Structure 1
Amino acid sequence: MNAPHIVTSYVVIDDVLELIGHTDDTRTRVSSAEILTVAIVAAKYFQNHHERALCLLQQTGYLPKLSVSRFNRRLHALQDILLLIASLLGEMMATGNVFVIDTMPVPVCKRVRAARCRKVQGDDYLGYCASKRAYYCGWQLHLVCDATGVPVAFELLPARWDELTLVQDLLSLLPEGSVVVADKGYISDTDQQLSYINGRVRLVPKQRRNMRGNTTQDAELIRTHRSRIETVNSQPEKMGLQRLHARTNPGFALKVLASLLALTFTNIV
């Protein structure tokens, strides 16, 4: 574990909680900032295994004694706060006017177990990941990051839904004059025109071989930021985002949010 990363995560979260006016009960021995820091450490270093992260942080003196069950109750009570922090940090830490957007699978289980899965049910959750050539049951995460890899906007959609379903909602969160680099899955003349008309945001997807190619300027832009798209995919994957284990849907969403916050701190620390 990286001690400066842990301390920085705690300090930033504590400052944001103070900024939004969040206060803890005077009887609590472990603050909300410490609870959220444990979740982020678990996402970054322990593939979202909260018990391991909690035990290790207690053994190294970062936290006082706290049971796993009590930690889980405190963390679930802070779910809305966690979402707010992720959104605020995306707005505050983002730099530049070039962003990248990509989609990654977030399986709940393998396709063969879909019939027995209780968390998500129905054909909408049966998806296919072309890059991995694998079917799965679960969600797809749409993630918009700045050029340094800091998440700015994100959304979970059922795995089978079209990638372009919420693209306008995500792009509307970006400042005027932004340029968004995307892969071939985001090719849509309509969405490119709408994003520019509604928010002066230019969507630049990589064109397929059988289509009219990108302009020289756009091709250079895509080439420059292509590696960031790959990194945006690989970093959450290394954190175990595609191998999450949770007993409930709120618990699953919590671990996704913690992974995104861990990604934010990884790319700013």
Structure 2
Amino acid sequence: MSNLEASYNLILDNLREISEIENFYFKPIKPKLSDIELISLIILAEFKSIDSEHQLFRDIKGFEIEPKIDRSVYNRRKRKLFPFIEEIRMKMVDKLNESENYFVVDSMPLEICKLSRSSRSRICKDVDYAYPNKRFCASQNLHFYGYKLHAVCSISGVFQSFDISPASVHDIHYLQDIKLQISDCVLLGDKGYLSQTIQLDLFNEVNIELETPKRKNQKDYKPQFYQFKKYRKRIETLFSQLCDQFMIRRNYAKTFEGFKTRILAKITTLTTIQFLNRFIFDRNINNLKINLV
């Protein structure tokens, strides 16, 4: 058995324990490859940085699963499994972040094409509510065209929740969604999340204490607690890992549904490796550049 197939079997065995269901939605004809096996294949491809479906099906040639799935239906089924992949991810997150009280919020740019092509690009323009647009990212000194990835992670480095918005949406609007996802905790953000109104709203409604550094020209300015600064770097490291190992900025999707499914697959893969590191191998959960077997 090859290393690739052994890794696939390890991922599949653990996902079966987590989900306890093989197929998630009704199909007129029962497929040879179950939904949980397909999700394991998606995670394997992202873990091995195989971004091309053509390359993936070349690599699994000779595997037991090879005759069970055709490349023509792989992507269609992958998109349909979006809510169920997120459900599996949340089950892992609930175990990993079980005793966490401190979280970090931040965003990163997701470029779908170069600015020079933006005026004629048709990528992700199939739905009216999610048109990509232009924005300037101050932290990277970058003008880009596409979306923003907004995310909340624990200080141990596990993504609790995330969302995608057009690039022009300000970071602070994501805090309205956070109220539905977490409560009774301390949330650390950068100066982009400064808002006394939002701060009071979060505290009064869901008991979230929003901690952001003050600007030097603000009244009663004092430097942010050193440990909070250190915690905030955790999410920046995660974003770097998504860019480096999981190539989150490389986009082959043509529709918004395909784009958001790719993003979810990469974040779910990162969470799966963290889950295996903690509960199977008993090692540092953020040691991602490893062989599973």
TM-score range, shorter chain: 0.7 to 0.9
Match of 1:193 among 200, 225, 235: 200
C-alpha distance in 2, partners of 1:222/1:5?
37
Gaps of 5+ in 1: none
- Counting only pairs closer than 5 Å after superposition, residues 65-144 of structure 1 correspond to structure 2 as 65=67, 66-95=69-98, 96-120=100-124, 125-144=133-152
State whether structure 2 residue 257 is matched by structure 1 residue 254. no
Corresponding residue pairs, total: 265
When structure 1 is superposed on structure 2, of 107-116 and 128-137 the one drifting more is 128-137
Structure 2 counterpart SS, 1:14: helix
Q: CA deviation at 1:248?
A: 1.7
State whether structure 2 residue 271 is matched by structure 1 residue 267. no
TM-score normalized with structure 2 length? 0.79
Q: CA deviation at 1:201?
A: 0.8
Report the counterpart of residue 17 of structure 2 in structure 1.
15
Structure showing the higher helix proportion among its residues = 1
TM-score normalized with structure 1 length? 0.85
State whether structure 2 residue 186 is matched by structure 1 residue 179. yes
When structure 1 is superposed on structure 2, of 64-73 and 257-266 the one drifting more is 64-73
C-alpha distance in 2, partners of 1:148/1:20?
31
Instruction: Give the percent of matched residue pairs that are identical in Structure 1 and Structure 2.
Output: 24
Q: Deviations over 1:52-102 (max 9, x none)?
A: 23432344x363323211212221222222233333433343241111111
Structure 1 counterpart SS, 2:65: coil
Q: CA deviation at 1:51?
A: 3.1
RMSD between aligned residues: 2.8
- CA distance 1:168–1:10, shift in 2 (3 Å): same
C-alpha distance in 2, partners of 1:189/1:20?
47
Report the counterpart of residue 230 of structure 2 in structure 1.
224
C-alpha distance in 2, partners of 1:20/1:33?
5
Structure 1 counterpart SS, 2:41: helix
C-alpha distance in 2, partners of 1:193/1:261?
32
Asked if the contact 1:109/1:138 (under 8 Å) is kept, the reply is yes
- CA distance 1:104–1:120, shift in 2 (3 Å): same
